[in-house]
Amino acid sequence: RASRFLASISTEDKNNALLRMADTLEKEKTSIFQANELDVKNAHAQGIPKAKIERLLITEQRLQEMIEGLRQLVSLPDPVGEVLDTRKRPNGMIVEKRRVPFGLIAMIYESRPNVTVDAVGLAIKTGNAIILRGGKEAIQSNLALVRALTEALKQTDIPSESIQFIQQLDRETVDILIQAKGIVDLAIPRGGAGLIQRVVQRAFVPVIETGVGNCHVYIHQSADPEMAKKIAVNAKTQRPSVCNAAETLLIDQAFAQSHLVSLLQLLREKGVEIRGCEKTRELGKSVNVIAATDEDYETEHLDLILTVKIVSGVDEAIDHIEQYGTKHSEAIVAEDQTAIDTFLDQVDAATVYHNVSTRYTDGFEFGFGAEIGISTQKLHARGPMGLPELTSYKYVVTGSGQIR
């Protein structure tokens, strides 16, 4: 019922709700931090890896980013109602293709509580109701955030029931949600490979797959050495626990001969564990390099672990990415135009980069505002999903009594 109401509310009403939600998060930040502290304490007690705890943490800065994300949505165009195409038929009938909300979105995600706020903000701006099913690690944080967001809606004309949160944490609740055909209009899983595959394989409702990020940086022999080093270090270490961090570094033999050791030393200074091919280990004897396995090449480490492989050129780099990549984000550092064009044309990924860190695959960095996820599939949405990707469309046909 809430989704039907949301389909026809004004942009002004939606923006007012977003601003109220931002203000309420600010007012309730003490209770939010207290709830998050409980989750973090429980995570430590359960022996959850540091990388996952880092994703769980709500700092003052991260809460302000959530709040700012809601406020920035206000300034973005409302896609609902946009006329994508208009045709006047010979009989005088006018056919319009208009953007419309999906209706009811199910968001299934794991340990990152910022997803709660991002998903709700995007849903409200696009006129969608939303059901949230977060992970057990962030249960207290998510409850505190949802309480604040629904409380904010009570101060507006939008029903607070537009936001629902499933507190039961057994896996069967996910199956019930993604099999609610005729009720749920779209499911979006966001998390590790296990969660995403469970949703994709068991869903009866449409799914947008936000995929695992096994991302690569390829350094061609023509690359500027200092630029290549900066990009490689940034892509791995700036925030290693997220899906757009690099997991494998591919390096041309010619570049490696002159610059591999200094690059590996920079990575080691940042605390990165290096797992390399035999050539990497041989050239990098002065740096502690562990032998890489096939499993290492196909793993999204989400930690300060990097696999390094020396390749013969752009074709071998592309072959490696084709075998082990997850179609998320792939980068080439090069000055040779033929190599650049070959890489950008032939690498099959949602985002391909030339002389840019993979860490930029992000709705905010692309200018979309907050994102609900990064799609690695090809139908409907691909890459960072902002407001337009949370809409469908319908045809509105007007006439003057035409019959067939």
Asked whether residue 380 carries a pLDDT value surpassing 90, the answer given is no
Question: Please, are residues 217 and 333 in contact by the beta-carbon 8 Å criterion?
Answer: yes
**What digits encode the pLDDT tens for the residues 127-152?**
999 999 999 999 999 999 999 999 99
Partner residues linked to 330 by β-bridges: 216, 352
The Cα-based distances of 274 to 5, 49, 57, 68, 404 in angstroms read 54, 19, 27, 37, 70
Residue 371 pLDDT > 90: no
Mean pLDDT across the stretch 385-395? 94
pLDDT of residue 377: 86
* Confidence bin at 113 (pLDDT 50/70/90): very high
**pLDDT at position 368, please?**
79
User: Quick one: which H or E segment has residue 164?
Assistant: strand 163-165
Say yes or no to pLDDT of 58 above 90.
Answer: yes
Per-residue confidence at 241, pLDDT binned at 50, 70, 90? confident
> What amino acid is encoded at 240 in this protein?
P
Q: Which position has the token pair 């999903």?
A: 385
Among candidate residues 40, 17, 222, the one with its CA nearest the CA of residue 124: 17
Residue 398 has pLDDT above 90, yes or no: yes
Q: Which string of b and e fits 316-354 if b means at least 16 CB within 10 Å?
A: bbbebbeebbbbbbbbbbbeeeebbebbeeebebbbbbe
pLDDT band (50, 70, 90) for residue 194: confident
pLDDT of res. 134 = 95
By three-state DSSP, how is residue 7 classified? coil
* Per-residue pLDDT at 251: 98
Assign 209 a pLDDT band (cuts: 50, 70, 90): confident
SS3 (DSSP) at 39: helix
User: What would the mean pLDDT of 189-213 be, rounded to a whole number?
Assistant: 90
- Rounded-to-integer distance, Cα 278 and Cα 17, Å: 57
Mean of pLDDT over the chain: 95
For 14-47, the pLDDT digits (tens) are: 999 999 999 999 999 999 999 999 999 999 999 9
For 47: left if phi > 0, alpha if psi spans -120 to 50, otherwise beta; the answer is: left
Helix-strand-coil percent breakdown of the chain, rounded to 5? 45, 20, 35
Helix (H) or strand (E) segment spanning residue 87: strand 83-88
User: Does the pLDDT of residue 369 top 80, yes or no?
Assistant: no
31-35, 79-83, 286-290: which range is least confident on average? Answer: 286-290
Residue 370 in this model has a pLDDT that exceeds 90: no
Q: What CA–CA distance (Å, rounded) separates 206 from 149?
A: 26
Stated as kind and residue range, the H or E segment containing 2 is helix 2-6
pLDDT 10s digits, 297-332: 999 998 999 999 999 999 999 999 999 999 999 999
Residues 6 or more apart whose CB falls under 8 angstroms from that of 107 comprise: 115, 119, 130, 131, 132, 133, 188, 190, 372
Q: What would you report as the CA-atom Rg of the chain, rounded to the nearest whole angstrom?
A: 23
pLDDT given for residue 231 in this prediction? 98
> Which of these, 364, 380, 64, lies nearest to 372 by C-alpha position?
364
pLDDT of residue 52: 82
Note the pLDDT of residue 212.
85
Cα separation, 367 vs 320, whole angstroms: 31
pLDDT at 51 over 90: no
Residue 1, Cβ density class (10 Å: 0-12 exposed, 13-18 middle, ≥19 buried): exposed
CB 50 within 8 A of CB 163: no
pLDDT of residue 367: 80
| pLDDT above 80 for 341 | yes
Alpha-carbon distances of 65 from 69, 97, 109, 121, 383, rounded to whole Å: 6, 35, 19, 13, 21
